[in-house]
Amino acid sequence: MNSSMSVKTMHRISEIFKFLVLLIFGVILMAPFIWMVSVGFDRTANITMPFPPRLIPEEPSSFNYGIVFENGRLIQSYINSTIVTVSSVVLSVSSSLLAGYAFSKGKFKGKKILFFIVLCTLMIPMEPRLIPLYTLFNSVGLLNTFWPLILPSIISGMLIFLCKQFFDQLPDTLREAAQIDGAGEFKIFFRVYLPLAGPIAATMIILSFIWSWNDFMWPLVVLNNIDLHTVPLYLASFSQENGSSLGGLTMALATVSILPIIILYLFLQRYIIQSIALSGVKGE
């Protein structure tokens, strides 16, 4: 009896310790974000940044955020980022679902070689691809348009890999039963497997959205027209123009710029753990 009680006590102490450790690390990770939001509510930060940093401003004010939401250039950059990001997400997620299903359930020559090539693209960073991509889009006259930001996202090695791993966990008997009923490959995909792909689709939407919304280097290279600037480019130009001044306004702009990512994550967060569990690599 005492032994079982001691085991339960030790287990409870262990769980409390784990919770406290995770809580401490969570607070540490969230502190910069909380400080950023706090400085946005500090009107005096436009004159001089508070030092030492404080998480709660002495005189909270919505002045900075009021200016932010009246900023025409920010609104235009929001519209530009929304057009680019939504288009990129739709194209990348759709193509990755189809490619992942083909690599997982399809039977065709060269499948392993093609999938190996897809995986090899994960090892190529963006920097070596800048010049070839720039040359390509310059040759077809698409610079200073949204197309260079949208078209490269159609093929994403990481998303294809995640889709393949997810579809590998789904039984082949579903496909075989649909084939017996006379269904073709597209009908099998859209009627049988796609309805089951909600968790991985939600995860891919989040990842693709973050990649596209936060992209800075590639838009900086291909967009010279200020009217086409996305949110990261606008933030960079605003910070460059104002230097270390207007710190409160800069932090308010940064906070507003990441709101779409936070909102999307809050709506789709329940799918993340489920998709990670289902798309894990098999030990085969």
Buried b (16+ CB within 10 A) or exposed e, 58-68: eeeeebbbebb
pLDDT of residue 173: 84
Average pLDDT over residues 213-242: 85
Q: Mean pLDDT throughout 111-115? A: 89
- Percentage of the chain beyond pLDDT 70 is 88
Task: Please compute the mean of the pLDDT values over residues 109-130 and round it to a whole number.
Answer: 87
pLDDT of residue 283: 38
Compute the average pLDDT of residues 205-226: 89
Range 151-159 average pLDDT: 88
Instruction: Report pTM.
Output: 0.81
For the chain, the domains span 1-69, 71-278
Structure confidence by residue, pLDDT tens digits, 9-67: 777 888 888 889 988 998 888 888 888 888 888 777 766 666 676 777 777 777 778 87
Count Cα atoms within 13 angstroms, Cβ side, for 114: 14
User: Does residue 281 surpass a pLDDT of 50?
Assistant: no
- Percent of the chain with pLDDT strictly greater than 90: 18
Class of domain 71-278: mainly alpha
Rg (CA), the chain: 24
pLDDT higher than threshold 50 for residue 154: yes
Report, as an integer, the average pLDDT of 160-165.
Answer: 89
**pLDDT at position 242:** 62
Sequence-separated (6 or more) residues with CB below 8 Å from residue 62:
41
**Helices (DSSP H) in the chain: which residue ranges?**
2-40, 63-69, 72-105, 111-120, 130-139, 147-150, 157-168, 173-180, 185-188, 198-214, 217-222, 231-242, 247-257, 259-268, 270-278
The per-residue pLDDT for 273 is 64
CA dihedral 154, 156, 159, 165 (to 10 degrees): 110
Average pLDDT of the chain?
A: 82
Distances (CA, A) of 182 to 167, 176, 186: 21, 10, 12
Q: What is the pLDDT of residues 175-197, one digit of tens each?
A: 888 888 888 888 888 888 888 88
For residue 87, what pLDDT is reported?
A: 94
DSSP state of 280: P
